[in-house]
Structure 1
């Protein structure tokens, strides 16, 4: 694509050309609105033609056929990592996948034609088995080529990493003096981040099995016949390496002399190879800075002659592994993510199905394969921006925005919004609450000297307490219809405090607390209000002192308490504006007076925590799965108690909702959350 500039590419309506520099477009074949569209290069022009290949990769919002394959790792590379340096390896991966499907099909065809072929059929099958193992080994070396190319091309999230030259093959990477390296040894030799080192170690044993296959099985010389013919397919001995460790066959499949079906074993080998590919994409997405997708709103599919049988084979492998893990098998249609189970690294692991498994059986029935988080920053009256933004998006798309999030986290003013949404309030109602109650909660404070601001609280807590009681009308925190996490801070114990709805078995207390008390506890900003003792006489203050941006609190809750895999989490994080300040040089000298004159201490602490939380979340989830909306404003344009700027806040929300609404529609609106039923309510 280097000969075609962006102006000419702009005739293709599906492409995002804003950040294409240094990348190529994997294919110009698209399927949209039940129609194929394909462009070809003719000289220095793009020409749309009325033809398309019968076996190829293409972009589409949904597959043209249920037999077309979707692999997350190929989609990720095609959309975000399509650099010329790794193009050859990517094409090799695609060819290998087509070839693996063809080999499985050929083995099945050989069985159906065995009487016609005669005695040579066994040798033909053995050849295909060897080829499948060789291709799977090739995949690992191609993945290593990808890693080397990205290592030289793409910036790491961790800028402190000192890159060292990598080896060109997987084998040379993991082996050192004939021994498989540990993660620590790999980090020392190559300077790679720990997640990448763990990826090598996790897949080393399986790779060595692929490498040693010819010597261990096919050419060991101890057996005259390796493959046997049964009524429904070819058979092998269960005791053969590497199949002996699989333990995947059902009792009704086993025949005398330890004979078992061949195809499930090959399915497992391919399945494990694809799992390594999925793990690869999950790891590199977390450690490298990648640009956005080239074709937003579409996925990268593979259509091929033998996909139907390939899907059946991989689906059977997934079901066998799922059953072995004590899970209920589901229909296998897409390979999207990998469920890594490090308790048994010798065995092939099942890919995630449409229902994730959790330690708590109640949770298992209420969480889908995608988990969306809404995170709302603190910011006093500036929470009006967040509420107005959500209201505008909700009204533009004619949706209830809460229906699209599995968990909502909110701190301080964000906590008030989160609790309101959990209790069924629409964002527009929350906007009205701020407009109505804001002047009472944050009265004008002009004329008060700065010393008084720091020496005494600014406002009486009674208007805030009264407004919250009126807003939530006697409802309990546990009455929320959404999972909520609301940070506060225990001043008495000098420790963090988090209110959580009863979405896990061990959460047995917070649900009883009146909702207004939780809202008061998270929003009692120490320089504006006194601490509150409304909850068990605990001295609680605003959660913004440690988690003004609660994104990481929410992600840890999903991952740690609800056991949601990180690669299933998508997060929308909304700030209340980011004031760009030019700090005066007198702050360099330190001292209470200098910092008090600038009102800088709390601003710096909250802004630093917010930026840090967003960077940490981006590292864990990857840039694609977290959206942060926090518009920059001039210093002192807004303040936590600036009620005189409410109209400006609403106007700013209206402006940003226009540009952000398409992103929300693309990334978050398609997900409707499964029903959440509180455990203890």
Structure 2
């Protein structure tokens, strides 16, 4: 009987990715070896793309956790800045000028290009198949970067992750102008993961395509990875559903609910309130992740393992704040999850990995 084809999939969720790294650190301790030695494929969306690619290239979960704790503040502004940004947004709304994203993208760009994370390493050099989800806003189609495909292989990893992490309203989109990728689009206009009636083109005003956060289509990348896995062969034999094992890591399910009155009365300022964590983005990404979670579980049954901590409403977790209080709360939520049954779930995963 063939061994399982093991997939590690990581959701989007901004700085909440720290929560994922804490759980992965515990898994790595149990396996007593780097995670990239125990999985055959990696998949990520948004902040999950950073985690997936970093692990795929051999970074330890412990170092990845430290990366989020130390560099998160370089990506996300502190609370004082958030108040300033919110007041600035209100002024822009009054004047009808909503042309700027809430957060500058310079910090995210610099951090991803740091030699301690990705530097200038190319996506195609990752030793195992890695998938990253994004969305082409110009051609209105999902994009799944695949490290083992030639059209994506020469793109720097940081650009792949940047393309997947450009949350609408929060960060600016990323213009991908990699020559190999653009040449492939020109030669093969139908290049897309779906049959799109819109002809794939390059925007006439630029020599690149505008990509935004993959969370708008698949905040949980598990299903994309499962589909790709079925197209792969291992030792010349195709991989079947029965031989796939998925470990899917979320960034926390919020217990704080949007009540009926709010749904009836909220307008644009409420749904895009930065102090409330940009509820519109969270609703879209959570809904996408939950649907993929459901489909993946139906397909794989017990071979689909989901690790999604509940975030108590008294924790006041934010997706876009990297202040010490928020970081501490994220670590607490992850540890509570592990202490309340999550650790046993990881034990079961370790047994499945070794079987």
Is TM (by shorter chain) over 0.5?
A: yes
2:129 to 480, 483, 489: 483
Tell me, in whole angstroms, the C-alpha distance in 2 between the residues paired with 1:436 and 1:668: 29
CA shift in 2, pair 1:593/1:463, >3 Å: closer
Question: Higher relative CO (CA 8 A, sep ≥ 6), structure 1 or 2?
Answer: 2
Kept after mapping to 2: 8 A contact 1:411/1:543: yes
2:140 to 494, 516, 520: 494
Deviations 1:476-499 (A, max 9, x none): 111112211100111111110111
Aligned counterparts, 1:193-592, within 5 A: 353-354=1-2, 369-444=3-78, 445-449=82-86, 452=89, 455=98, 456-470=100-114, 471-502=117-148, 507-536=149-178, 537-562=208-233, 563-584=238-259, 585-588=261-264, 591-592=267-268
Kept after mapping to 2: 8 A contact 1:393/1:657: no
Kept after mapping to 2: 8 A contact 1:372/1:668: no
CA shift in 2, pair 1:588/1:534, >3 Å: same
CA shift in 2, pair 1:450/1:578, >3 Å: farther
Q: Secondary structure at the match of 1:671?
A: helix
1:662 to 338, 344, 350: 344
Report what 2:334 is aligned to.
653
Kept after mapping to 1: 8 A contact 2:122/2:156: yes
Report what 2:184 is aligned to.
none
Report the CA distance between 1:405 and its aligned residue. Answer: 1.4
CA shift in 2, pair 1:375/1:615, >3 Å: same
Tell me, in whole angstroms, the C-alpha distance in 2 between the residues paired with 1:666 and 1:389: 14
Tell me, in whole angstroms, the C-alpha distance in 1 between the residues paired with 2:240 and 2:299: 11
Tell me, in whole angstroms, the C-alpha distance in 1 between the residues paired with 2:161 and 2:63: 16
CA shift in 2, pair 1:586/1:641, >3 Å: closer
Report the CA distance between 1:648 and its aligned residue. Answer: 2.0
Question: Normalising to structure 2: TM-score of the pair?
Answer: 0.79
Greater gyration radius: 1
Tell me, in whole angstroms, the C-alpha distance in 2 between the residues paired with 1:436 and 1:570: 32
Question: Normalising to structure 1: TM-score of the pair?
Answer: 0.42
- The gaps in structure 2 that reach 5 residues or longer are 179-207
Q: Secondary structure at the match of 2:290?
A: helix
Q: Secondary structure at the match of 1:572?
A: strand
Kept after mapping to 2: 8 A contact 1:587/1:594: no
Q: Secondary structure at the match of 1:643?
A: coil
- The gaps in structure 1 that reach 5 residues or longer are 1-352, 355-368, 674-681
CA shift in 2, pair 1:669/1:404, >3 Å: farther
Tell me, in whole angstroms, the C-alpha distance in 1 between the residues paired with 2:215 and 2:317: 17
